[in-house]
Chains A and B, each alone.
Chain A
Amino acid sequence: MKLNVNGKVRDVEAPPDMPLLWVLRDLLALTGTKYGCGMAQCGACTVHLNGEAVRSCVLPVSEVGARKVTTIEGLSADGGGLHPVQRAWIEADVVQCGYCQPGQIMAAAALLKEAPKPSDAEIDAALSASLCRCGTYQRIREAVHLAASMTAQGGKA
């Protein structure tokens, strides 16, 4: 089957029930998207499907169809630079172990498309589905606000 991943059409040979997560990680070598729970509980596997945040660990690859898949590797539109959310994450020194952060960043980027200036409550609502055992939540909130202001000041989203 054909999959549109990060702007490129890729040919994959996968059983139809194989979750998108494992297609990305094991067949397309895009390992930035993480496995955490396999049951849409932790958010580590978050990717964008036509710009919307979805849990790739419970999405059978056969259901993706022609929709555009964006992973952490393809988040920055121009390839070389960083997305404002990624820049904000560095600026706010968010990461610790870093394992959950691709999922957090994908969730935050999707939120900022919907709500360019989110409140703390909106951030909590959008990101409470993304778990972090290092407890970086406070800095994630700060970084989402920072990314919002970067975007408002003309950064590319």
Chain B
Amino acid sequence: MSAHSGHSRRRFLKTSAGLVIGFTLAPKGKIFALQAAAGAGKPLPPPDAFLRIGEDDTVTVLLAHSEMGQGIWTTLPMMVAEELGCDWSNIRVETAPAAPVYAHPDYGAQMTGGSSSTYSELDRYRQVGAMAREMLVAAAAAQWKVPASTCRAESGFVVSGTHKASFGSLAKAAQAQKPPASVKLKDRKDWKILGKPTKRLDSPQKVTGKAQFGIDVQQPGMKTVLIARSPVFGGKVKSFHAEKAKAVPGVRAVVQVPSGVAVVADHFWAANLGREALEVDWDLGAGADLDSTKMAAHYRTLAEKDGVKAAAAGDVNTSLAAAKTKVEAEYAFPYLAHATMEPLNCAASVGADSCEIWTGTQFQSGDQAVAAKITGLKPEQVKIHTTFLGGGFGRRANPASDFVAEAVHVAKAAGVPVKVVWTREDDMRGGYYRPMWAHSVSVGLGPDGLPAAWRQQIVGQSIMEGTPFAMLIKDGIDEASVEGVADSPYVKRTPHHFVGLHSPKSAVPVLWWRSVGHTHTAYVMETMVDALAAAAGQDPVAYRRALLKGSPRHVGALDLAVAKAGAAPPKGQFRGVAVHHSFESYVAQVADVSVDKGRIRVHRVVAAIDCGICINPAGVTAQVESAIVYGLTAALYGEITLKNGRVQQGNFDDYPVLRMNEMPKIEVHIV
């Protein structure tokens, strides 16, 4: 058990421009806080912000995080229920409004990201459950005139001797109790709910079509909007002619907003036809010259030179020159679109003293601040209704709040409530991609076959640059660009090493994309290690074990995956292995793959994950399967390219994603 001690708190920095959000990074390797609240050094949460107990015995949990498929709709209630002692079937779930009390415990802003929702909330949501239990018990004890110590909460009742009262019947009296100043949380060995596979609570509404996503929002008088945006990044409207668009039946207005020209209509189809009829003359600017092939060539040139130091030890150049065996490789990674199944959208209504927003967002605090700035309102006057997200993967956690800002601008300009819907093409061509990357790696092996010198140059746009997160860039290093390399155990154990970073700028907007830097660094490191093992004439698993001697959690995951994978794959298939640490989890995978006329087919993946304390094994398994599919799509297909500034892909026909007939058999094992 270990405390939350020593990690810096993030805070909101108030400025005249509205709300600017400040962040610092959590220290690497932070593990779960499991200490009872009293010792954790943080004030207890106000339980009524997170939990409501109805007189009908329902227990409503308010989520500070957005449900985007990761299962937090189930995981956070599990934490509450474990301490509260309620009847699981009485749990109801709602997404919290945007308010400071729902700020991420580690990030200080209300947001869902960094693979952190479960571990960062393990204390707070258990504390809320424990506080409510204490208040129910106190109410019952007072009613029965017995010592509270004789009362216990179980299955939705408080019981003492022959007394028994339901939570619902005690709810009102409990509310009048003073929240306890401290609570003792259950010992892990006594957990009855946490750690047990638990089915998702959002299934019934999601299999019946009742679940509301942002694109489903409809409010009285709300119009549907499509926006004509610049065909290249950074382009501006020079002039436009709206007559033909306005002549389309159902089109109500055409208004200019900073990102383009908005067609306001009764429904999507009218907005779509109206936008097709709209004539816009663009001032394209320098964005029209963007060419991803040329950029890749430039990146390759940059990678020949030392970048800004991200990690270094010894004298890598001398050591490399002296090495008898050297392995060198260059890597190129394309831009990637998130391609969430639900295209971007946002509904907004702007009044004189309030603004309402309905959308699936991962970043309520940022969106609220941006909307406040646009409308001239105070952040607390901006109400955000977070719907279910039809996938997030980072795209809906945009520091620029692009899709929210646009909707607020349109609502303000049009003077009616609006829902801005992005077509698939709008979404695919809208930028905020996983950056393009180039790596150049040179490794010299020592007499034992293990790396003696490791030099690696990384080239790619910084995600944090130009955002409020830029304050996290230290000495020219955006950690999200080098994570998985600068902190790699392979690099750290190599006596002479240098990791350099080049961060070229581009008009192509970039953003976090599921697992962020690790999307490229894990691939480079694991394929490099395979090449090194081959050069050293050693078995790739044994080679990794030798390199990872000081990293027992890597080895634990690796050993489990290898053991579960069993004997060699069927004839005609080849076996590969990888192990990587990212976002507080250690994952190893063994994949059986065949190649037929250049086409790669993955038949089976055996994965092992050490995610620390596993709260819902069913959720962890689903997330690992999900990550494998997302990663395979990127590896086999994913590529956004630009020519003359235009994004050349637009829909699933030219940006294919993995389909069911390509789905490998996946087995997930939890360490």
CB within 8 Å of B: which residues of A? 14-15, 18-19, 22, 25-27, 29-39, 41-42, 44, 71-73, 76, 82, 86, 89-90, 93-102, 105, 123-125, 127-141
Contacts and interface: CB of A to CB of B under 8 A. Distances in A.
A96 B342 contact: no
A130 to B, nearest CB: 7
Contacts of B629: 132-135, 137
Interface string B56-70: 000000000001111
A35 B271 CA distance: 15
Contact of B341 (A26, A36, A90): A36
Contact of A136 (B68, B393, B622): B622
Given A31-B209, A93-B203, A138 B341 contact: no
A99 B208 contact: no
A140 to B, nearest CB: 7
B383 to A, nearest CB: 21
Contact of B651 (A37, A44, A128): A37
B181 interface: no
Contacts of B196: none
Contact of B390 (A15, A34, A141): A34
A79 B540 CA distance: 57
A92 to B, nearest CB: 9
B660 A137 contact: yes
27 contacts: A15-B250, A15-B270, A26-B268, A34-B213, A36-B652, A39-B424, A39-B653, A76-B208, A82-B207, A82-B208, A86-B207, A89-B207, A94-B203, A95-B203, A95-B207, A97-B68, A97-B69, A124-B660, A124-B661, A128-B660, A128-B661, A131-B659, A133-B393, A134-B626, A135-B626, A135-B658, A141-B663
Interface in B617-648: 618, 622, 625-630, 633
A133 B663 contact: no
Contacts of B343: 35-36
A81 B444 CA distance: 66
Contacts of A100: 341, 390
Contacts of A41: 651-653
B626 A73 contact: no
A40 B633 CA distance: 20
A62 B250 CA distance: 18
Contact of B69 (A18, A26, A39, A98): A98
B207 to A, nearest CB: 4
Nearest to B268: A22
B622 A93 contact: yes
B267 interface: yes
A26 B661 contact: no
B391 A90 contact: no
A32 B200 CA distance: 19
A35 B215 contact: yes
A11 B269 CA distance: 18
Given A98-B69, A140-B660, A135 B625 contact: yes
A38 B423 contact: yes
Contacts of B628: 135
Contacts of B224: 26
B467 interface: no
Contact size range, B: 35 or more
A98 B269 contact: no
Nearest to B514: A133
B657 A95 contact: no
Interface majority SS on B: helix, strand, loop or mixed? Answer: loop
A28 B625 CA distance: 36
Nearest to B425: A38
Contact of B652 (A94, A131, A134, A136): A131
Nearest to A106: B209
B341 A38 contact: no
A37 B655 CA distance: 11
B402 interface: no
B218 interface: yes
Interface in B381-398: 388-393
Contacts of B622: 93, 96, 134, 136, 139
B389 A97 contact: yes
Interface in B654-671: 657-661, 663, 665-666
B336 to A, nearest CB: 12
B206 interface: yes
A15 B269 contact: yes
A15 B70 CA distance: 40
B659 A97 contact: no
Given A133-B630, A137-B629, A98 B202 contact: yes
Given A73-B209, A133-B657, A96 B651 contact: no
B657 A131 contact: yes
B406 to A, nearest CB: 18
A98 B208 contact: no
A37 B390 CA distance: 13
B259 interface: no
A76 B628 CA distance: 33
B212 interface: yes
A155 to B, nearest CB: 15
B169 interface: no
A19 B213 CA distance: 21
B339 interface: yes
B200 A93 contact: yes
Contacts of B209: 30-33, 71-73, 102
B341 A127 contact: no
Interface in B17-47: none
A72 B70 contact: no
A56 to B, nearest CB: 12
A12 to B, nearest CB: 11
A86 B210 CA distance: 13
A105 B207 contact: yes
A18 B224 CA distance: 15
